[in-house]
Structures are given as C-alpha cells and as structure tokens.
A and B are shown apart, each in its own frame.
Chain A
Amino acid sequence: MTLFKAENIQKRFGARVVLEDISLSVEEGTVHGIMGPNGAGKTTCFHVLTGYHAPDGGRIVFDGRDITGRKPHQIARMGISRSFQIMNLFDETVVIENVLLALPEFRAHGFNLTRSVFDDKALVDKALGVLDQVGLADLAWQKADALSYGNRRALEIAVALAAEPRIVFLDEPTSGLGVEATRQLMGLIRKLRKTYTIVLIEHDMNFLFELADRISVIHWGQVIAEDTPAALKANKWVARSALGEVA
C-alpha cells in the first residue's frame, strides 16, 4: 500500500527554482531513499515533504489524505516525524527528558510547573521504551551533551519516534558520523524498519544501497532516476566510481 506520495512538487525561492518537479511514492513498511549530489535540493525536498515549507505546486498525499500546505505540527500529529541533519536537542537536560518532551501525552498536558515530569511513572516508562528502541535506555539519565556524536544521532531519532509516527523522515543521518558510528546507525535503521516506514535522505550512496528498498535520485530539482539499489548499482558509472576507476 502506498503510504506517502508526492506529485509534481515545485518550490522556488525568488528566481531560484530549487524543486522543479518531484514525484515519488513510498510503500508502507519500506525504506525509501532520496539521494543526490550536493546542492541537488535534498534538504528543501525534505522540508517540503514534511510540511516545513509549503510547495508552490504539486500535491502531497499521506495515507490517502491530501496534506499539501498543512502546518508542520498538523502533519506531525497525523503520524509523520522527522529528524534533522543539524541536531536539535536540549543539551542541558538528561537524555530521557528530550524524549519525554516529545511524547504526545506530555504535549497534550502541556507544561506543569507544580509537578515534575519525572513523577509520572507511566510516562517515564514509555520514554524508556522509546530509548530502548534506539539502544539508549542505559544512558537515559545522562546529560544529553555528554553523549557521543553517534548516540546523539540515535537520540534525535528517538525524539522523532516519541511522536508515535507511521513514517519517519531522516535528513542526512550519516552527516558528521565516523565509520563505526555509521555502521551502528545502519544497524539501528535495520531494526527500526520492522516497525516504521522510513524515508532516508542521504548523500552517501553506499549507505542507501545497503538499506533502501527503492531509491529516488534527485538532481536539478527533479527525480532523474528511480529504482532498486541493485538496478542503480548496476549503472556503469556507479560501478566505476565505486571501484575508483574514474579518473
């Protein structure tokens, strides 16, 4: 079943056309990759698909409903979460608090100055459950800024998962990660794919080739290719590049 669909999305900033015509379709329970060279419009695409920017043209459909032009918080409530290339964490707090703040139950109650959020055992248990999904349950009570870069990325993903999404958009999750942290992240995404539909926006081709079921290649604000990793890898120039033979 198609869970998420973008049709002929266009986005301009003044005279600059960033997205010319983006169409893609994400099946439920799959990992869909969006890749492209630097400056291809990947991050703008991420912002438009997740409602941060309204498109100038085209349509976005989630679970059969047209969500084009809806506000980010409305889109989030419908079950679309996202995690950013640039980390957005509350560094001064403990790890679990970042997740607690993102739980729908917490957001429904709002801030209560007279009562600590940590007193609500059900809420804390739920947050611990989310942290467990990303392998951070043991570090729940550490300060967020004490985490390694790779664990911070995992915490970002936990914050996205706390909202109980059906689909999670991750923007360049490997950005700034070393080889080992990237390998761990790959393991985490493999685990999460059993529960969530995932859209991965990435510059790193090999990362997507390992994880995605289908990949849309974007450049010049358009989908210039779309296929399975196996078919894309078979491209002569991709193979030559991987072998370092292009020179």
Chain B
Amino acid sequence: MTAMLEVRNLEKIYTRSRFDRTPTFRLNADFTIENPGVVGMMGPNGSGKTTLFELVTGSNSPTAGEVRVAGRNIHKVRTDQRDRLAIHYHQSYQVRHFRSFKPNMLMEPAQSDYPLLHLFDEPQFNTQDGYIGFMLDFFRKLRADGRLVFLCVHPNERFHLEIVQEICESFLFVETGTVTPFSDYSALLEHGPARTYLGDLLTERAA
C-alpha cells in the first residue's frame, strides 16, 4: 500500500547569500507515515518546523531529497494543484503561494480533489473562548475521513500538553534542523532534548 507521506532524505540548506554559499541553516528529515492519523510536532523556535511544513506542502523547494504525498512527488505536481494534496494552515488563516520555474503544463496533475494532508501551524488554543474542543473534533473528523493531520504546537501552558496527549497519536520532534519521529507521547518524553524543551511544563504538571 502507498504510504500517505514519505519524506525521503529531505534536505534544505539556507545559505548566507546567492554568492556566499556558507550554510546558515540545515534541515534534514527522513520518515514515513503510512496511515491516516494525528501527528504532533514540537520543537524550539527556529528549529525548522515551519520550513518542514513548507517543504511538505510544496511551497518551499528542497535542496535534496523528496516528499511523496500518497505516492506523488509534491514538487513535481502543478503548483495550482498542490493544495489538493496538502494544506498549510498558519494559525487562523491559510496562504497558498507556490513558485516554480517549470510551467504547470509540464508538471503532473494532483489526482486528488480534497487535500490528504492538513498541516496546522501553531493554531491558537485560547483558554477563554472555548473553541479548543471544536478544533480537536475537527482534527478527529479529518482523521476519520482518511486524512493525515499534523499539529505543530509550541507548548507554553500546561493545558497545551493536555491537548497534544488527547489528540496526537505519534510525534515528530524538531531540533536544530533534525527531525526525529516518535511512536507515542511516552516515547517522546524519553527523548532527552524533548524533555529539556518541555522541562518546566512537565515539572509543573508533576506538581
């Protein structure tokens, strides 16, 4: 069976400038997610989370490697059809901006009518307004419809950890450009850098 998402030897290198090719940031990822689900993504600011989302949705081009959504290399799909495979939600809105030097007529069709991947980049989980439950139900609905949901959270309140434990089945931890997958929450917490990142929240929770 074709995996929902294959990220193969993906590398993105940002350099100082077009002429000075000294790398300033390097992101590497290599993982596969076979089935629909809700995947939590965490990591410190500047670790490459949004860059990974951009690479997966095809709005940013990799330096090397490839991203396959339901078997299709997203960077070879027509730019006007990439959102039929994956959507990147920025907090409360969506921006679709794709660039490609190759004309769309020379690229492949998406062969999908509804996005299979939904990537939520730090949705605002507000304590006061009560919308959290509806957002979580929406993630569940997408999953039940056979979609793969990514939820990027930057936990700074204890209830943010409650949310990820309630909804996320597996995790990706991103730190200084390295993406590490984990099968569940307890496996994530066994990872030293993840524990350090969540440090105070875990302690407060214990208290």
Contact = CB atoms under 8 A, between A and B. Distances in A.
Interface of A: 12, 15-18, 20, 36-41, 203, 205, 217, 219-222, 224-225, 232, 235-238, 240-242, 246-247
Given A236-B133, A247-B159, A219 B138 contact: yes
A36 B95 contact: no
Contact of B132 (A38, A41, A205, A246): A246
B124 interface: yes
A228 B156 CA distance: 33
Contact of B134 (A217, A246, A247): A217
B127 A241 contact: yes
- Tell me what chain B mostly uses at the interface: helix, strand, loop, or mixed: mixed
Contact of B129 (A15, A220, A241, A247): A241
B126 interface: yes
Nearest to A18: B93
Contacts of B94: 16-17, 20, 220-221
A235 B137 contact: yes
B136 interface: yes
Nearest to A225: B134
B102 interface: no
A234 to B, nearest CB: 9
B92 A247 contact: no
B129 A224 contact: no
A18 B129 CA distance: 21
A217 B87 CA distance: 20
Contacts of B97: 15
A65 to B, nearest CB: 27
The 9 closest A-B pairs by CB, nearest first: A237-B133, A241-B130, A235-B133, A224-B138, A39-B92, A17-B94, A237-B132, A15-B97, A225-B134
Nearest to A238: B130
A240 B130 CA distance: 8
B191 interface: no
B128 to A, nearest CB: 7
Contacts of A246: 127, 132, 159
A62 B78 CA distance: 36
Contacts of A16: 93-95
Contacts of A232: 134
A240 to B, nearest CB: 8
B135 interface: yes
A219 B92 contact: yes
B129 A37 contact: yes
Interface in B153-207: 157-159
Contact of A224 (B91, B124, B128, B135): B135
